[in-house]
Amino acid sequence: MQIIYHGHSAIQIITNGKSLIIDPFLSGNPLATAKPEDIKVDAVLLTHSHIDHILDAEPIAKANDCSVVANVELAAYMSWKGVKTIGMNMGGTVDLGFAKAKMIQAFHTSGIVDEENKQILYGGTPGGYLIYAEGLTILHTGDTALFGDMKLIGDRNRIDVALVPIGDHYTMGPEDALQAAEWYKAKLVVPVHYNSFPAIRQDADAFVSLLETRGLKGKVMAPGDTLEVEQELNK
């Protein structure tokens, strides 16, 4: 299995000869090294409806003739754009054929800002995903604050890689993310959702150093980096 970090919270997972991308935000991210037209995937997964998570979902899904997986409200919105969708909700699991995706809780907001009409469209409840493939479990937390049931998620799952936001301001900051990492008990923690905007500037290397003081393993990935999951876990 490979994980490609495209910057911000955009994660591509390649497994069983196929691929999925979560929260594609490339064309609006100055740090991204890939363009939407570069992405070849078999599914697009969305954690919530904020523009920095859904911006490139439509063009990627259409170019690859694949489905967008999201909560039912966001899936309906995407379907109105002519995209194939799979609507789901908290606690549910979707079998993509090459991987399974379970939607889990996140504490955040979710809405689509219609600037022209000065309206906020309801985007459903925000979430995260547990991705199961090749006997591995990958956690994408989505945008979230710290909450106690992260411990329950860690207790009920043997998480191999946890992708955890550290940017602060809109999500957890490093201190809360450190507590989350302890509760998730993942074999490897990768910080995400930082440095894309001035408000979320963080030192990811410092965060990984803090993880190590707690006996946890972390890895900083720059946009465009690829992680060979089994190889990294076996180091």
Delimit the domains of the chain by residue range: 2-233
Identity (one letter) of the amino acid at 67?
A: S
What angle in degrees, to the nearest 10, is found between the helix axes of 204-213 and 174-184?
40
The CATH number of the structural domain formed by 2-233 is: 3.60.15.10
Q: What is the pTM of this model?
A: 0.98
The pLDDT, as a whole number, for residue 95 is 98
pLDDT at 201: 98
What ranges in the chain are assigned the alpha helix state H? 51-54, 57-64, 72-79, 150-156, 174-184, 204-213, 229-233
Counting other chains too, the contacts that 117-124 makes at CB distance below 8 Å and 24 or more residues apart are: 121/49, 121/77, 122/73, 123/48, 123/49, 123/50, 123/71, 123/73, 123/74, 123/77, 124/48, 124/49, 124/70, 124/71, 124/72, 124/73, 124/74
pLDDT tens-digit profile of 137-192? 999 999 999 999 999 999 999 999 999 999 999 999 999 999 999 999 999 999 99
Query: pLDDT tens-digit profile of 108-148?
Result: 999 999 999 999 999 999 999 999 999 999 999 999 999 99
pLDDT digits (tens, 9 = 90+) for 4-24: 999 999 999 999 999 999 999
Query: Given this model, what pLDDT does residue 112 score?
Result: 96
